[in-house]
Amino acid sequence: MTARTDQLHRPQYMPDLLIRALDRNADRPALHLGETTLTAGELRDAMSRYVQALASLGVGKGTAASMLARNRPEVLISMGSTIVAGCRNTALNPNSALDDHAYIVDDAQIEMIVFDPRHFEDHVAELVERCPSLTTVLSLGPSKVGTDILALAEGFEPAPLVAAEVDGEDASSLVYTGGTTGRPKGVVNTFRSGVTLPQIQMAEWQIPDQMKFLVCTPLSHAGAAFFLPTLLAGGALVVLEQFSPAAALEAIEKYRIDATMLVPTMIYMLLDHPDIDTRDLSSLKTVYYGAAAMSPARLREGIDKLGPVFFQFYGQSECGMSIAVLRKEEHLVDDPARLASCGRPVPWLDVRLLDDDLNEVPVGELGEICVRGPLVMREYWNKPDETAEALEGGWLHTGDVARRDEAGFLSIVDRKKDMIVSGGFNVYPGEIEDVISALPAIADVAVIGAPDDKWGETVTACVVLRPGHGETEAERERIAAEVVDEVKTRRGSVEAPKAVDFLESIPVTGLGKPDKKALRARYWEGADRMV
């Protein structure tokens, strides 16, 4: 009897790997959240009950499933169950508005939603009214809306988990992009791309055995990206219900945290918090950061305060999290260009800088980062024209403009769509932000183009000051002049800001990236265009 050829060479996908990770570390603690501690075996048994409960409701392979909840243990259990069952998952950001959720549910044709009734009962009731595709509504506890999945799952006994028989090109998730313009697009990730990321993480991301990993971001989004790698390494997740710098620093000391993942804005908040000088942070070996560029000046400050613990990952929704990485030992504090780099491409992908004719540009020249490989998305959901544009010529076009040095390190100049055109000159905000963020009074900065009748767009710097700076109007005027002079000296008069505006904070998207769309809207209100 011969094996079926399609099974003979079938790789192990996320459902398979999750089961193996839970089984091989069944007796180890795997999750700490509030007063709850669960071993991998207890997580596995809880997922088994959930999978059976879902199956009793007709939820299984291919079901379009969604989650709306803040961090709690049942989020990981429910997410793991839908992965094992082979559902097509779409997370709803708990910080987004009802209209945004309704758009995603309608666009993705979500059939099943799991939600936390403590925070979202009325919200989901409205979604059910507005979105006819929602036919299975499950609450994490008693609720007037839908079925209590916790109570239903308790009626089943744990049984061995069995992974759904999925194909590599089946859709495993729809991830909605933040998008700088227009409605977000649904990125179709497959079981092929889904399993590629943890493989790269395990090989390239310097993940230690049995680490304690602090999750500060929503589990439904980036927070869960380390779930499988941590389990495979025999480690445990320590999860905060929500981020605050004081709570994160306390958790690092209390649990002897080895690693965490933060977006740059969170890192800045940690560095500026007084507890950073009083907490014992000596256990911290790695701070993973990404989602947005980090100021080289603040990165140098972080290395000075925390040591050589920083690891940068660069990716996007269309090619998740790991197009390139800058490893800990590659953060050279005496090399500003290196600290401004996003690292070198990971070996599992073909990453090149291409011009508009798809020719590779020489070392040192600007080109668009383009990618081929198993991590790349399948398509944009129901958007064939946008898919064709993004995948033109057999490459994923990231929209990021960068240059490569002789050693292969990439330095992103800016997003193509964030580029400012002033008086016919192309101006890249990222390079200006690097200059401004190095000034001692600046905590955070975002540079955008504001409308101008003469120049088309003018460079505008939106800055957040560090505590103790700019407390008088005269001092703010001095700082603004310093910002303009520094950019003029370092980058030239074309790139010098024509205006410096002081903000309490830079708005961020649900994924923690600077929300330049929201910033631009303040300046372009009433205009018939946004660029």
Same domain, 354 and 261: yes
Q: Which two tokens stand for residue 240?
A: 């905060």
- In the chain, how many domains are there? 3
Q: What region does 109 belong to: left with phi over 0, alpha with psi -120 to 50, or beta?
A: left
The pLDDT tens digits for 1-23 are: 444 557 888 899 999 999 999 99
Q: Which two tokens stand for residue 333?
A: 């504090």
Choose the final residue of a domain: 416, 450, 465: 416
Confidence band, pLDDT 50/70/90 cuts, at residue 519:
confident
pTM assigned to the model: 0.81
**DSSP at 231:** H
Same domain, 266 and 306: yes
Q: What whole-number distance in Å separates Cα of residue 250 and Cα of residue 263?
A: 18
Instruction: Say if residue 179's pLDDT is above 80.
Output: no
Same domain, 412 and 424: no
The pLDDT tens digits for 394-421 are: 999 998 889 999 999 999 886 666 778 7
Q: Residue 309 falls within a domain, yes or no? A: yes
Of 94-103, 232-241, 276-285, minimum mean pLDDT range: 94-103
Q: Residue 183 falls within a domain, yes or no? A: yes
Q: What whole-number distance in Å separates Cα of residue 302 and Cα of residue 291?
A: 17
What pLDDT is recorded for position 497? 93
Same domain, 84 and 137: yes
The pLDDT > 90 percentage for the chain reads 70
Q: What region does 373 belong to: left with phi over 0, alpha with psi -120 to 50, or beta?
A: left
**DSSP at 399:** E
Q: Which helix (H) or strand (E) holds 502?
A: strand 499-502
The pLDDT tens digits for 145-176 are: 999 999 999 999 999 999 999 999 999 999 98
Q: What whole-number distance in Å separates Cα of residue 283 and Cα of residue 81?
A: 32
Q: Residue 220 falls within a domain, yes or no? A: no
The pLDDT tens digits for 383-393 are: 999 999 999 99
Q: Residue 176 falls within a domain, yes or no? A: yes
Nearest one of 489, 458, 465 to 479, comparing CA atoms: 465
Choose the final residue of a domain: 171, 190, 209: 190
Q: What whole-number distance in Å separates Cα of residue 39 and Cα of residue 22?
A: 9
What pLDDT is recorded for position 276? 95
What pLDDT is recorded for position 9? 86
Higher pLDDT, 305 or 508: 305
Contact yes or no for 422/456 (Cβ under 8 A): yes
Containing domain of residue 428, as a range?
Answer: 419-524
The pLDDT tens digits for 121-130 are: 999 999 999 9
Choose the final residue of a domain: 385, 416, 447: 416
The pLDDT tens digits for 329-338 are: 999 999 988 9
Instruction: Say if residue 248's pLDDT is above 80.
Output: yes
What pLDDT is recorded for position 266? 87
What pLDDT is recorded for position 181? 43
What pLDDT is recorded for position 25? 94
What pLDDT is recorded for position 484? 94
CB neighbours of 330 closer than 8 A, spacing ≥ 6? 338, 343, 344, 409
What pLDDT is recorded for position 320? 87
Same domain, 97 and 18: yes
Q: What whole-number distance in Å separates Cα of residue 270 and Cα of residue 384?
A: 43
**Which residue has tokens 């207890």?**
42
Look up the CATH number of the domain holding residue 39. 3.40.50.980
Helices 191-204 and 14-24 pack at an angle, to 10 degrees, of 50
Same domain, 174 and 248: no
Same domain, 513 and 397: no
Same domain, 356 and 260: yes
CB neighbours of 244 closer than 8 A, spacing ≥ 6? none
Of 165-179, 186-200, 371-385, minimum mean pLDDT range: 165-179
Same domain, 387 and 463: no
Confidence band, pLDDT 50/70/90 cuts, at residue 303:
very high
Mean pLDDT of 81-93: 94
The pLDDT tens digits for 465-489 are: 999 998 899 999 999 999 999 998 8
Same domain, 445 and 403: no
**DSSP at 330:** G
The pLDDT tens digits for 285-301 are: 999 998 777 888 889 99
Same domain, 469 and 343: no
What pLDDT is recorded for position 180? 41
What pLDDT is recorded for position 414? 65
Look up the CATH number of the domain holding residue 490. 3.30.300.30
Confidence band, pLDDT 50/70/90 cuts, at residue 217:
confident
Q: Residue 344 falls within a domain, yes or no? A: yes
Q: What whole-number distance in Å separates Cα of residue 310 and Cα of residue 317?
A: 22
The pLDDT tens digits for 429-466 are: 887 888 999 899 999 999 988 887 667 788 999 999 99
Same domain, 269 and 407: yes
Contact yes or no for 351/323 (Cβ under 8 A): yes
